[in-house]
Amino acid sequence: MDPSEVKTKSNHFGKDLQCSVCSHTFSTTGNMKAHIMRVHKKETPFKCSICSYKCSTSSRLERHMKVHSDEKQYDCSVCDYKCKHLNGLKVHLRTHTNEKPYKCSVCDYESVQLSTLKRHLKTHTQEKPNECSMCDFKLYNIFQT
């Protein structure tokens, strides 16, 4: 095989096209253009037919559509828990293993979910983003008592 042919195949199948805005690389010009339009120009061409949700990819829209369905296709193998999304099952399984992968860098707090750790971190910064619309009362966490 001619060396120039190998290079052509490598360029065609390799990820040698780089986004002009970030360092993301792509194997086709079409994928790169779609990335720029959806990520950097914030286009949301995919729209839910039931609600006002819009997103940048068909896979995100497909995931969103599960919100409108009662189908729970992911079953826990340990208990009777069922959910709509695979990620929900992964998080749930941590209740059986006691795995807490998200750790606070300030104290010994550990969490099953990243969102819970982020909420916890506000206790260290004294940030109180949740405020009453009728008075000056503020909370760092809407679940705070």
CB atoms within 10 A of CB 136: 6
pLDDT for 3 = 35
Q: Flag whether 130 is in a domain.
A: yes
Eight-state DSSP code of residue 98: T
Residue 36: domain span: 3-40
Mapped onto helix, strand or coil, the DSSP state of residue 18 is strand
pLDDT for 74 = 93
pLDDT for 103 = 96
Q: Does residue 133 carry a pLDDT above 80?
A: no
Q: Flag whether 9 is in a domain.
A: yes
26 near 32, Cβ under 8 Å? Answer: yes
Q: Flag whether 21 is in a domain.
A: yes
82 near 75, Cβ under 8 Å? Answer: yes
Q: Flag whether 59 is in a domain.
A: no
- The more confident residue out of 4 and 80 is 80
- Whether this prediction's pTM lies above 0.75 is answered by no
29 to 5, 10, 17, 37, 119: CA distances (angstroms) = 20, 15, 7, 12, 40
Q: Flag whether 57 is in a domain.
A: no
Q: Flag whether 27 is in a domain.
A: yes
63 near 46, Cβ under 8 Å? Answer: no
**The total number of structural domains that make up the chain:** 2
CB atoms within 10 A of CB 17: 18
Tell me the average pLDDT of the chain. Answer: 81
Q: Does residue 18 carry a pLDDT above 80?
A: yes
pLDDT for 93 = 95
Q: What is the mean pLDDT of residues 70-99?
A: 92
Which residues sit opposite 31 in a β-bridge?
Answer: none
β strands within 1-145, DSSP E? 17-18, 25-26, 46-47, 54-55, 74-75, 82-83, 102-103, 110-111, 130-131, 138-139
Q: What is the mean pLDDT of residues 53-57?
A: 87
Q: What is the mean pLDDT of residues 111-137?
A: 80
Percentage of the chain lying above the pLDDT 90 cut:
34
Q: Flag whether 96 is in a domain.
A: no
